[in-house]
């Protein structure tokens, strides 16, 4: 029995109770790196369009493990650990670039774009002196290679041979919703990242929480972009770890539940000085103005009106998370659509009108539970099961996250 299971017991209620120690325990965090990020899951790497030509590479992470994603000289996508076989230094120091080979800056050991060790400086010494023994095997500690799969232009990688194909991993219904957004060739519009003062699971829970958005995000409810009386639903797939939440076209229905309840998210008669920021077109033809999709353990795909983006959730210690955003459009967009997407990108990101509160709220939880490791959160909105639902007044996808999390963690 591991040290974790000896000292920590999950509440008897199961996925409707989440113990606060799960956000605080260093042993739990270490176990997550082993069983989740280096286990049988798919780690999101980025958009395939970021590496258009042979020799292109970028650096990112699988959990805390630094990795290099590269298109080798034959055009095949590769992913390997960003670690030299010699003394463990980072191989790639740049965020992205193009190269025929990679050389470690420390002792100039070289690697090809598949992650294979190709050269050791002074391996034979100089003038018969020094160097490595004849039977040395420097490649024995070579960077680990990850399997790569591309689905709809999205790059994923895993260290495990047991990880099922990505489409089966996310589930058929979620895969269909990925295809909906990734419907054609895309181009990157820009990106940014932020550091959140909270455990990675708190942000991923937050993205799966379908009923907080119109309560926490005043901009959403004030301008009727996302209210719970609007039509929508929640789809749960991939053993619970994947989900889609969606909201249909905004309406001006009589009998506003928010105003009647006197909630702080009621409109209050506010208006925008530049309402054109919220002018959108139904480019998918289905009336859905907002779709948030997640894949366990750290991928988010968003459509907020015409603002499209992927998000990468990266753990940075027990109490920290890096959130990387990449906004994109389609290759066929005209100038007006590109401008619309850029304007609406003000809704998201570190200072976004509807994103700023998420980082704050998850930080409030991290601080609030600091002295309550023996207590647990209550996750019973919408019942106790994990299933798709027409109502967004539910925590079904949050329970789905914990269902898959416990399966991987053995908790």
d(CA 336, CA 405): 43
The per-residue pLDDT for 262 is 44
Quick: pLDDT tens for 301-351.
999 999 999 999 999 999 999 999 999 999 999 999 999 999 999 888 888
Q: Count CB-CB contacts under 10 A for residue 14.
A: 14
Would you call 150 helix, strand, or coil by DSSP?
A: strand
Whether 282 and 249 have beta carbons less than 8 Å apart is answered as yes
The per-residue pLDDT for 227 is 55
- Answer yes or no: is pLDDT of 132 > 90: yes
Would you call 219 helix, strand, or coil by DSSP?
A: helix
Q: What is the largest CA-CA distance in the chain?
A: 89
- In this prediction, residues 120-143 reach a mean pLDDT of 93
d(CA 12, CA 376): 11
Ordered structural domains, the chain, with CATH? 43-149 (2.102.10.10), 170-409 (3.90.380.10)
Whether 397 and 243 have beta carbons less than 8 Å apart is answered as yes
- Could you tell me how far CA 230 lies from the centroid of its own chain? 27
Quick: pLDDT tens for 149-184.
999 999 999 999 999 999 999 999 999 999 999 999
The per-residue pLDDT for 87 is 96
Tokens for 177? 């919703």
- In this prediction, residues 297-303 reach a mean pLDDT of 98
- In this prediction, residues 175-204 reach a mean pLDDT of 97
Predicted TM-score (pTM) of the model is 0.92
The per-residue pLDDT for 220 is 64
CA-based nearest residue to 341, from 301, 305, 369, 316: 305
DSSP for residue 72 = -
Tokens for 289? 């103005």
d(CA 408, CA 178): 24
pLDDT band (50, 70, 90) for residue 39:
very high
CA-based nearest residue to 56, from 80, 79, 72, 74: 72
Whether 167 and 151 have beta carbons less than 8 Å apart is answered as yes
Instruction: Name which of 16-25, 92-101, 353-362 the model is least confident about.
Output: 353-362
d(CA 214, CA 222): 9
d(CA 317, CA 24): 10
The per-residue pLDDT for 5 is 46
d(CA 250, CA 106): 57
How would you classify residue 107: left for phi > 0, otherwise alpha for psi between -120 and 50, otherwise beta? alpha
- In this prediction, residues 364-388 reach a mean pLDDT of 95
- Answer yes or no: is pLDDT of 234 > 50: yes
pLDDT band (50, 70, 90) for residue 355:
confident
Number of H helices, E strands in the chain: 11, 19
Whether 28 and 4 have beta carbons less than 8 Å apart is answered as yes
Quick: pLDDT tens for 251-285.
444 345 444 444 444 556 677 777 778 888 999 99
Dihedral sign, Cα of residue 399, residue 351, residue 308, residue 354: positive
Q: What share of the chain is helix, strand, coil (3-state, %, to 5)?
A: 25, 25, 45
d(CA 121, CA 85): 13
Whether 234 and 397 have beta carbons less than 8 Å apart is answered as yes
d(CA 245, CA 258): 20
Dihedral sign, Cα of residue 211, residue 154, residue 55, residue 328: negative
Instruction: Name which of 43-47, 221-225, 322-326, 363-367 the model is least confident about.
Output: 221-225
């Amino acid at each position: 029995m591991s040290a974790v299971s000896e000292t920590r017991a999950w509440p008897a209620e199961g996925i409707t109770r989440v113990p606060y120690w799960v956000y605080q325990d260093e042993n739990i965090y270490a176990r997550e790196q082993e069983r989740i990020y280096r286990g049988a899951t798919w780690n999101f790497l980025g958009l395939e369009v970021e590496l258009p030509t042979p020799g292109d590479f970028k650096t990112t992470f699988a959990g805390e493990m630094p990795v290099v994603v590269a298109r080798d000289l034959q055009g095949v996508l590769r992913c390997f650990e960003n670690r030299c076989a010699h003394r463990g230094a980072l191989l790639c120091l740049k965020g992205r670039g193009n190269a025929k080979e990679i050389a470690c800056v420390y002792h100039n050991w070289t690697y090809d774009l598949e992650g294979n060790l190709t050269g050791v400086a002074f391996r034979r010494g100089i003038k018969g002196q020094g160097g490595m023994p004849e039977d040395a095997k420097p490649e024995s500690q070579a960077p680990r290679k990850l399997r790569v799969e591309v689905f709809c232009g999205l790059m994923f990688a895993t260290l495990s041979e047991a990880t099922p194909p990505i489409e089966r991993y996310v589930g058929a219904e979620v895969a269909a919703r990925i295809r909906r957004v990734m419907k054609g060739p895309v181009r990157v519009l820009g990106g940014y990242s932020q550091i959140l003062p909270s455990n990675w699971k708190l942000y991923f829970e937050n993205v799966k929480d379908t009923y907080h958005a119109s309560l926490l995000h005043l901009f959403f409810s004030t301008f009727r972009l996302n209210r719970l009386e609007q039509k929508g639903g929640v789809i749960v797939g991939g053993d619970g770890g994947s989900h889609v939440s969606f909201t249909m076209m905004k309406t001006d229905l009589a009998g506003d539940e928010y105003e009647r309840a006197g909630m702080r998210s009621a409109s209050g008669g506010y208006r925008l000085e530049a309402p054109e920021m919220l002018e959108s077109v139904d480019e998918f033809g289905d009336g859905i103005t907002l779709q948030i999709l997640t894949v366990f353990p750290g991928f988010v795909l968003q459509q907020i009106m015409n603002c499209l983006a992927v998000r990468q959730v990266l753990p940075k210690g027990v109490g920290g998370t890096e959130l990387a955003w990449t906004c994109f459009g389609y290759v066929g967009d005209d100038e007006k659509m590109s401008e619309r997407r850029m304007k609406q990108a003000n809704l998201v990101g570190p200072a976004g009108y509807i994103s700023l509160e998420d980082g704050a709220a998850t930080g409030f939880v991290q601080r609030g539970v600091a002295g309550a490791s023996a207590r647990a959160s209550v996750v019973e909105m919408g019942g106790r099961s994990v299933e798709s639902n027409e109502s967004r007044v539910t925590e079904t996808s949050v329970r789905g996250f914990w269902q898959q999390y416990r399966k991987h963690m053995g908790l």
